[in-house]
Structure 1
Amino acid sequence: MPYELQKCINFGCVNYINALPFSLPLLENSYLQLHLAPPAELLKKILHHEIDCALTSSIGTVAQKLQCLPGWGIAAHKHVQSVNLYTSSSFFSSSRPKVAITNESLSSVALFKILCHNLWQVPSPQIERLSPSEIINLSPDRYDGLLLIGDAALKHPQIPQFTTHDLAQCWDELTGLPFVFAVVLNRTSWKNCSSLIHLALDAALSHFENSPQEVVETAHKRINLSHKDLQAYYSLLRYRLGEEDYAGLKEFQKYYDRLLQKT
Structure 2
Amino acid sequence: MPYELQKCINFGCVNYINALPFSLPLLENSYLQLHLAPPAELLKKILHHEIDCALTSSIGTVAQKLQCLPGWGIAAHKHVQSVNLYTSSSFFSSSRPKVAITNESLSSVALFKILCHNLWQVPSPQIEHLSPSEIINLSPDRYDGLLLIGDAALKHPQIPQFTTHDLAQCWDELTGMPFVFAVVLNRTSWENCSSLIHLALESALSHFENSPQEVIETAHKRTNLSHKDLRTYYSLLRYRLGEEDYAGLKAFQQYYDRLLQKT
> Is the 1:91–1:145 Cα contact (8 Å) retained in structure 2?
yes
- Displacement after TM superposition at 1:192 (Å): 1.9
> Is the 2:40–2:57 Cα contact (8 Å) retained in structure 1?
yes
Distance (whole Å) between structure 1 residues aligned to residue 132 and residue 101 of structure 2: 8
- Could you give the per-residue CA deviations for residues 63-82 of structure 1, whole angstroms, max 9, x where no partner exists? 00000000000000000000
Distance (whole Å) between structure 2 residues aligned to residue 142 and residue 216 of structure 1: 37
> Is the 1:21–1:208 Cα contact (8 Å) retained in structure 2?
yes
> Is the 1:103–1:130 Cα contact (8 Å) retained in structure 2?
yes
- Could you give the per-residue CA deviations for residues 170-193 of structure 1, whole angstroms, max 9, x where no partner exists? 000000000000000012152321
> Is the 2:4–2:30 Cα contact (8 Å) retained in structure 1?
no
How high is the TM-score relative to the length of structure 1? 0.98
Residue matched to 2:119: 119
- Could you give the per-residue CA deviations for residues 190-231 of structure 1, whole angstroms, max 9, x where no partner exists? 232110000000000000000000000000000000000000
> Is the 1:4–1:192 Cα contact (8 Å) retained in structure 2?
no
Distance (whole Å) between structure 2 residues aligned to residue 67 and residue 192 of structure 1: 15
Residue matched to 1:106: 106
Distance (whole Å) between structure 2 residues aligned to residue 62 and residue 225 of structure 1: 33
Give the percent of matched residue pairs that are identical in Structure 1 and Structure 2. 96
CA RMSD of aligned residues (A): 1.0
> Is the 2:9–2:33 Cα contact (8 Å) retained in structure 1?
yes
Distance (whole Å) between structure 1 residues aligned to residue 225 and residue 2 of structure 2: 44
Distance (whole Å) between structure 1 residues aligned to residue 246 and residue 3 of structure 2: 31
Distance (whole Å) between structure 1 residues aligned to residue 162 and residue 251 of structure 2: 29
Distance (whole Å) between structure 1 residues aligned to residue 92 and residue 189 of structure 2: 46
What are the ranges of 5 or more consecutive residues in structure 1 without an aligned counterpart?
Answer: none
How high is the TM-score relative to the length of structure 2? 0.98
- Could you give the per-residue CA deviations for residues 53-99 of structure 1, whole angstroms, max 9, x where no partner exists? 10000000000000000000000000000000000000000000000
Distance (whole Å) between structure 2 residues aligned to residue 56 and residue 66 of structure 1: 12
Q: Secondary structure at the match of 2:68?
A: strand
Structure 2 counterparts to residues 142-153 of structure 1, below 5 A: 142-153=142-153
Distance (whole Å) between structure 2 residues aligned to residue 7 and residue 100 of structure 1: 39
Q: Secondary structure at the match of 1:36?
A: strand
- Displacement after TM superposition at 1:6 (Å): 4.6
> How many residues in Structure 1 have an aligned counterpart in Structure 2?
263
Residue matched to 1:214: 214
> Is the 2:6–2:30 Cα contact (8 Å) retained in structure 1?
no
> Is the 1:4–1:193 Cα contact (8 Å) retained in structure 2?
no
> Is the 2:55–2:185 Cα contact (8 Å) retained in structure 1?
yes
- Displacement after TM superposition at 1:5 (Å): 5.0
What are the ranges of 5 or more consecutive residues in structure 2 without an aligned counterpart?
Answer: none
> Is the 2:5–2:30 Cα contact (8 Å) retained in structure 1?
no
Q: Secondary structure at the match of 2:164?
A: strand
- Displacement after TM superposition at 1:21 (Å): 0.1
- Displacement after TM superposition at 1:2 (Å): 4.0
